[in-house]
Copies of this chain bind each other. A is one copy, B any other.
């Protein structure tokens, strides 16, 4: 296997230059929300807000707003709300995974234990949903609540289907759309709504977000298999150990002969002897990673189609650019 020198990480180089000033205002707005908590609770919330994220959801909201006229406070606000929900899920994810660091700093559970972290996630969650009522639009509240519910249900389904080799690709895509797509979709879709866009445009932006979220997740799946830890900056090759059936593995199972499937099943379910480098090698040899990348790139093509409803301007170009950027990250996973 050739050494990969340029390997994609969860890069901070998302093409968000255009919205940098907006994202700075988003940070200010997030700090403001932190102060809305009781003084006894605030330090915990503050820690979580300071240690997480690329702010992809706010960026999608602000760029959609910009593409459809002008990004304003409402677009930043919906971005903040969805980002708070995202942060709540990260806090809870870290409990579930027993993770002790995220982005090089201790997780909330590592610092204060699982109990406080469960509650901290809940507080962020309920605050975000309350903040959504500021819009005085029941439809926005409903869609924010729906997105939050999708994320939670997606996470449950993923947890529940660990080590379950009957998982179909359709189910896989459903889980990815719920887990990651729902908040991306809400960011782009609700931003369009806030710009007064037609239902058709709102729907297409929603779909753009949903697909982009699924692609982001597929990229994460491929990275876990073929990435280089030093470059990526996090522990890799953990998905299979946790029983998470990713798209490359589903591809491998799909194309396996009966005898091969039996071998794979034994390796995945019994964990032992699970020689991960060998399994990765097989997955690549059989083109299972390639096919996952192809699937993701098809979805990115649909993302570009979705964006065709937007006028051509700097912001809509930046939304295309995000899709292209994800495409280039995926390409780097090919060997």
Residues of A within 8 A of B (CB): 37-38, 40-41, 44, 88-89, 92, 95-96, 114-116, 118-123, 125-127, 129-130, 132-133, 135-138, 141-142, 145-146, 148-149, 151-153, 155-157, 159-161
Asked if B96 and A152 make an inter-chain contact with CB atoms under 8 angstroms apart, the answer reads no
Q: Check if A133 sits within 8 Å of B138, measured CB to CB.
A: yes
A145 and B130 contacting across the interface, CB-CB below 8 Å: yes
Is B123 a contact partner of A152 (Cβ separation < 8 A)? yes
Is B40's CB under 8 angstroms from A123's CB? Answer: no
A156 and B114 contact, CB distance less than 8 A: no
By a CB distance below 8 angstroms, the chain B residues around A88 are 122
Number of copies of chain A assembled together: 2
- Contact assessment for B123 and A126 in the assembled complex, using a CB-CB cutoff below 8 Å: no
Does more than half of chain A's interface fall in helix, strand or loop, or is it mixed?
helix
Please tell me if the beta carbons of A95 and B123 are within 8 angstroms of each other in the complex. no
Q: How far is the CA of A126 from the CA of B130 in the complex (A)?
A: 11
Contact of A148 among B38, B41, B95, B130 (CB under 8 A): B130
User: Given B44, B135, B142, which contacts A156 in the complex, CB threshold below 8 Å?
Assistant: B44
Least CB distance from A131 to B in Å reads: 8
Min distance, Cβ A157 to any Cβ of chain B, angstroms: 5
Q: Which residues of B contact A119 (CB under 8 A)?
A: 92, 96, 152, 155-156, 159
Query: Which residues of B have CB within 8 Å of A41?
Result: 153, 156-157, 160
Q: Are A156 and B116 in contact (CB under 8 A)?
A: yes
Task: Please state if A156 and B40 are interface contacts (CB–CB under 8 Å).
Answer: yes
State the CA gap A129–B143 with chains docked (Å): 11
Report how far A130 CA is from B159 CA in the complex, Å.
Answer: 23
